[in-house]
Amino acid sequence: MITRADVEELDRADPLRSFRGRFAGVDDDLIYLDGNSLGRLPVASADRLHEVVHSQWAHGLVRSWESWISWPRSIGDLLGSTLLGAAGGQVVISDSTSVNLYKLAAAALDLRPGRTTIVTDAGNFPTDRYILAGLASARGLRVVEIEDASLADVTAALSDDVALVSLSHVDYRSGALSPMAEITAAAHDAGALALWDLCHSAGSVPISLDACDVDFAVGCTYKYLNAGPGAPAFLYVRNDLQAAAQQPIWGWFGQQAQFEMGAVYSPVESIERFLVGSPPILGIALVEAGVKLLGEAGIERLRAKGIALTSLLINLADAWLAPLGFEVASPRSDAHRGSHVSLRHGDAYRISQALIEHQVVPDFRRPDLVRLGCSPLTTSYADVYEGMRRLRDIVSSGRHLDIELPERRVT
């Protein structure tokens, strides 16, 4: 059985150990296992924000737009080359994940006229399913929800009527990692396009959008990329699709000769056609700071530590928590798991609240999952060990039973 001395040795030998001190608050007693929902604040991000506000906005004023206006693409290129396996000119920072998903899904459907089916999975993130359902309703199409985002389930759902396959790369509940290359190839073989949601993989799992021949992708930046609450999202459109793909929100930042203020919308043929309105400069600056930090660490090292942390968590769950009624609800295979682990228990809500009272921050997912994120740059092996120890002690002592269940509304 692994001991506290073992995890302390793992931390001493961790090649990413020095990065932990470059985030605010990591020396607190708080054990933060929710970086896959909101990443910690990099110290460099606060410095970067101060620079943009005080040096550029305060003194450069409107003249600062001379550099700012290129940031959605230039920082998108940085993100693409560093973490997404995307060559330049295919990624922009823009809007929210939900808005970007709508834009790209609509564009994809227009590229496959006459096809009436969208394929997603029943466990996909709710906003993804809502947006796809809304598009289908507006266009008289249908959505087929498969059970799992697996190659077998996707292949079984494909036909010459499928226009779009839209899935999450890493399942937001279980942490299951889908085979991007194989599913994209299967969609293409059926004549369909593939749209991937990278929210739970960008910054924690190596991604090869170009090599996988992905058509479209979206993702957020406030999780593993540590860009902060409400940070702008990103989108990817493969080079050869950009001129033909027309997004539905016609904004002036996608317009040719933008500052001529023409009366008729005529979009540029490049990735900028997927921009809409004025970019959120302060948020984009924080995306840049987070991406640079992760790029310095290296995605392969981040992935290796993510696997090691989640493997440790699963081993401790088997030893300590299985006798207490817990079940590991995430893939046990390293190759098929992202950087978080979900534990199933009938009292998951009260357990999650009790953990927070004992300075461990998890995430609760209805109806019965305690989700524990292992953000490679900020989570230590000792964090995992101590968090699991506190979890074991809370449940074995029954302290979670003191938590009141929320009132359920009757409608």
Helices and strands in the chain, H and E counts:
14, 13
**Res 409 pLDDT > 80:** no
**Res 294 pLDDT > 50:** yes
User: How far is the C-alpha of 20 from the C-alpha of 322, rounded, in Å?
Assistant: 31
> For residue range 150-165, what is the model confidence (pLDDT) as tens digits?
999 999 999 999 999 9
Look over the chain and give the mean of its residue pLDDT values, rounded to a whole number.
97
**Where residue 354 falls among pLDDT bands split at 50, 70, 90?**
very high
Which candidate in 222, 234, 253, 385 is catalytic? 222
Reply yes or no on whether 19 is catalytic.
no
Reply yes or no on whether 103 is catalytic.
no
3-class state of residue 17 by DSSP:
helix
Domains, the chain, with CATH or none:
4-32+298-402 (3.90.1150.10), 46-296 (3.40.640.10)
Which candidate in 77, 197, 215, 363 is catalytic? 197
Reply yes or no on whether 171 is catalytic.
no
- Mean per-residue pLDDT for 25-33? 89
Burial class for 148, CB neighbours closer than 10 Å (0-12, 13-18, 19+): middle
Reply yes or no on whether 222 is catalytic.
yes
Which candidate in 125, 326, 349, 385 is catalytic? 125
> For residue range 202-231, what is the model confidence (pLDDT) as tens digits?
999 999 999 999 999 999 999 999 999 999
Q: What is the pLDDT of residue 408?
A: 61
**Res 410 pLDDT > 70:** no
How many CB atoms sit inside 10 A of residue 31's CB? 25
Reply yes or no on whether 223 is catalytic.
yes
Which candidate in 20, 103, 115, 223 is catalytic? 223
Which candidate in 20, 103, 238, 371 is catalytic? 371
